[in-house]
Amino acid sequence: MFKKTVDYDKFSKVYDKVREGNPEMVHQILDGVSLSGSSLVLDIGCGTGNNTLLLASTVQANVIGLDISQGMLQKAYEKQSQILFVQAPADCIPVASETIEFVYMTEVLHHLPDIPATLHEICRILKSSGSFCIVTQSHKQIDRRMTSRFFPASVAVDKERYPDIDVIEDLLFKAGFSAVNSKEYTYSPVRLGDEYLETVTKRGFSMLHKISNEDYEKGLEDLREAFQQSEVLMYSADYSFIWATK
């Protein structure tokens, strides 16, 4: 299978033009955890800080963003210099053991080169009874994506990148977490329009960087034709929220 890597520093130059923070996702995360003004919270794979800033503006807690890409973090720092943004890999977090009350990652797990090592590292830095939330998609949810319709080559690519939910749960227990539970959340259906087309045109979804240029151009042509034919493209995004307690 033809696959390419993603240059996240290069991707950071257009990321904010096509991707925004997700208030509804952040609300779902905060609904599952209790935090105070003294709580330390770590956003792993924070990118340009969109969800980091949303969460920090919603809850009284000390929020830290961590990402491996200097380009992404520079964009994040330009938005809010008061939040601590740290450049480091997720499997080697420069934080003392049993320090953090809550760790979360939103649509990040599939980008990690060593998922088991990362989960062990998160368990290490969490305080006793600390919480961890992974926001990801199951293989069935990948099948239901609009991108899967127009870019079918992306399905196999992402099913290889994304561990399915039962695999993640097993890895969490092996990493040392004592309790694990998962739930799905489906957003209200929306009609996709010019913003979606612009995102796809700029390859604003990482899987579009990992398929061949031929597959990408064919899918983009089909998508443009659907819009030209005034087809109503309705889509209900859905995610899996996997919660773990140390």
Q: Where are the domains of the chain?
A: 8-245
**Residue 81, pLDDT score:** 75
Q: Residue 5's pLDDT band (boundaries 50, 70, 90)?
A: low
How confident is the model at residue 21, as a pLDDT?
A: 74
Helix then strand count (H, E) for the chain reads 11, 9
What CATH code is assigned to 8-245? 3.40.50.150
Pairing of strands 179-186, 62-67: unpaired
Mean pLDDT of 65-70: 94
Distance CA 83, CA 194 (A): 33
For 244, residues 6+ apart whose C-beta sits below 8 A from its C-beta are: 131, 132, 133, 134, 172, 177, 179, 180
Average pLDDT over residues 4-9: 50
Mean pLDDT score of the chain: 91
Instruction: Examine the pLDDT at 55 and tell me if it is beyond 50.
Output: yes
CA distances from residue 227 to 153, 176, 191 in whole angstroms, order as listed: 21, 49, 11
Does position 109 have pLDDT exceeding 50, yes or no?
Answer: yes
Q: Indicate if the pLDDT at residue 4 is higher than 80.
A: no
165-175 helix and 115-125 helix, angle to the nearest 10 degrees? 50
pLDDT tens readout for residues 178-226: 999 999 999 999 999 999 999 999 998 889 999 999 999 999 999 999 9
pLDDT-derived band at 11, boundaries 50, 70, 90? very low
The reported pLDDT for the residue numbered 212 is 96
Per-residue pLDDT tens digits for 57-67 = 999 899 999 99
- Cα–Cα separations (whole angstroms), residue 25 to 44, 208, 238: 15, 23, 10
